[in-house]
Amino acid sequence: MRLNMTTPGNHRRPSGNGAVPLRTIVPVGLVCALAVLLSGCVSATNPPGSTSDISGSDTAFLALSAALVMLMTPALALFYGGLVRAQNVLSVMMHCFTALALVSLQWWLWGYSLAFSPSWLHIGKFGILGSLNWIGGREVGLTPYPAYSTTVPHQLFMVYQCMFAAITPALIAGAFAERMKFKAFVLFVLLWSTCVYDPVAHWVWSENGWLKHLGSLDFAGGTVVHITSGMTALVAALIIGPRLGFPRTPFVPHSVVLTMLGAGLLWFGWFGFNAGSALGATTVAVVAFVATHCGAAGGALGWLLYDRFMKRQPTALGFASGAVAGLVAITPAAGFVGSLSSFLIGAVAGMVCAIAVSVRVRCKIDDALDAFGVHGVGGTLGALLTGVFATSQVNPAIGGNEGLVHGHLKLFLIQCVAILVTIVYTIGVSYLILKIVDVTVGLRVSEEEEKSGLDLSQHGENAYAP
């Protein structure tokens, strides 16, 4: 059976000889050539350590956790996909899936090296940015790298961290949903991951990172993932401008069912996000696992409580948003706090993020899917509350660096410094990146393309049969 290539949804006119345009061949060819060249740089030797040091249980646990975190990006695609209008479902899903693939390549080629290799750029003895010693996977072998884990292969640690790097720019896509060019998104993701995510990850998680040496605590990404993505989302929403008709036109989610399904899968995947950050099947992983569930439950109930008093009825969308807000807030604290503290952190986050979203609406800022209200505000709140509730009774590794409720002020002040520096750096660099993308390829689709929907104008497809 022959396919009709002129059906609705495929309006592009084919070139006369069917040739692939040069503007498509050049970037693809450059990436492929770079990958081939770098593949020759991969070290056949393993760094210090021995395969005899590897724990089978820890390796299996981290591999499963990496798979769970990978699942979170498709889950986010469902969560965001339900929130947009029907003509933009595939567009926002493509943002999520493309970020997963594109950042995975960037991470292997240079991102992981910039984030986790021994520091190349220093201020005094503190590391600011990793070197390119591990570019293309060079020296990332099958033996443990002791600075990060003594019981799992270095390559597995790299893959696990890749899943964090991949979902972070996908979170930002919620801010400019329904109006950004796809090619602009691709360029933005490459630049942002390299210039924002990788340096901040180095500060917070690298063996030489300056915020780590300062004593900042971020168990699974409150600062690195959620503050960076949330603050960038706010900048992006302001620069790209509101959707046509905002705020007069109601932008009603086309499928709360999809959003609820996505929220449930995010909740499920988040166990790998937080518990997996213990990097082994340990008691700290159990603490983080329990804290994750308590935080999500607290967040969902907190947002429902807000809905009940402010909107007179609890909403399914509020439950889903609250669960995600609770998960975001518990992320930096998961391995450092007990279950009751986790529930409290989640409940406070659910209510505070709901208030932040309502304030955003009154300020007429079109952060379409509330990436700032949930991730920026939730991540900041979680990092602060880590400085309030963290205790060595749960995780002895923090030593005397206890939280505010245990009579210690130092950790809370350190958390404030880490939050402030991350926000300032993220906003400044993200602004420059967005301006560069706008000047080079343009950020926003035309009015006609926005009206017809990005599924058709950017991808030539429809999510649902017309």
Tokens of 156: 């597995």
- The answer to whether the beta carbons of residues 91 and 81 sit under 8 Å apart is no
Closest CA to 402 of 330, 411, 333: 411
Q: Tell me the average pLDDT across 415-443.
A: 98
d(CA 95, CA 77): 8
Q: Tell me the average pLDDT across 206-214.
A: 94
How high is the pLDDT of residue 158? Answer: 98
d(CA 285, CA 114): 27
Could you give phi then psi for residue 127, rounded to 5 degrees?
-80, 140
How high is the pLDDT of residue 399? Answer: 83
Q: On the CB side of 444, how many CA atoms lie within 13 Å of its CA? A: 18
> Model confidence over 220-234: pLDDT tens digits?
999 999 999 999 999
Q: Which residues neighbour 352 within 8 Å (Cβ) at sequence distance 6 or greater?
A: 377, 378, 381
> Model confidence over 43-52: pLDDT tens digits?
434 455 566 6
Which pLDDT band, with edges at 50, 70 and 90, does 141 fall under?
very high
For tokens 């942002």, the residue is 192
How high is the pLDDT of residue 124? Answer: 72
> Model confidence over 79-100: pLDDT tens digits?
999 999 999 999 999 999 999 9
Q: Tell me the average pLDDT across 87-114.
A: 98
Residue 140 pLDDT greater than 50, yes or no: yes
The stretches of 276-366 forming alpha helices (DSSP H) are: 283-310, 316-330, 339-362
By CB neighbour count within 10 A (0-12 exposed, 13-18 middle, 19+ buried), where does 220 fall?
A: buried
How high is the pLDDT of residue 29? Answer: 53
How high is the pLDDT of residue 15? Answer: 40
Residue 120 pLDDT greater than 70, yes or no: yes
Neighbours of 164 (CB within 10 A): 24
d(CA 195, CA 175): 19
- The beta-strand segments (E) located in 342-442 are none
Residue 74 pLDDT greater than 70, yes or no: yes
What's this model's pTM, rounded to 2 decimal places? 0.90
How high is the pLDDT of residue 369? Answer: 97
Question: Which H or E run includes 120?
Answer: strand 119-123
Residue 270 pLDDT greater than 60, yes or no: yes
Where is pLDDT greater, at 160 or 31? 160
How high is the pLDDT of residue 17? Answer: 45
Tokens of 285: 């992983």
DSSP letter (8 states) at residue 437: H
Q: Which residues neighbour 264 within 8 Å (Cβ) at sequence distance 6 or greater?
A: none
How high is the pLDDT of residue 448? Answer: 96
d(CA 19, CA 17): 5
How high is the pLDDT of residue 30? Answer: 52
Residue 10 pLDDT greater than 80, yes or no: no
Residue 211 pLDDT greater than 70, yes or no: yes
CA angle at residue 339 from 336 to 345, to 5 degrees?
A: 75
Residue ranges and CATH numbers for the domains of the chain are 56-459 (1.10.3430.10)
Indicate the range of 40-44, 98-102, 417-421, 430-434 predicted with least confidence.
Answer: 40-44
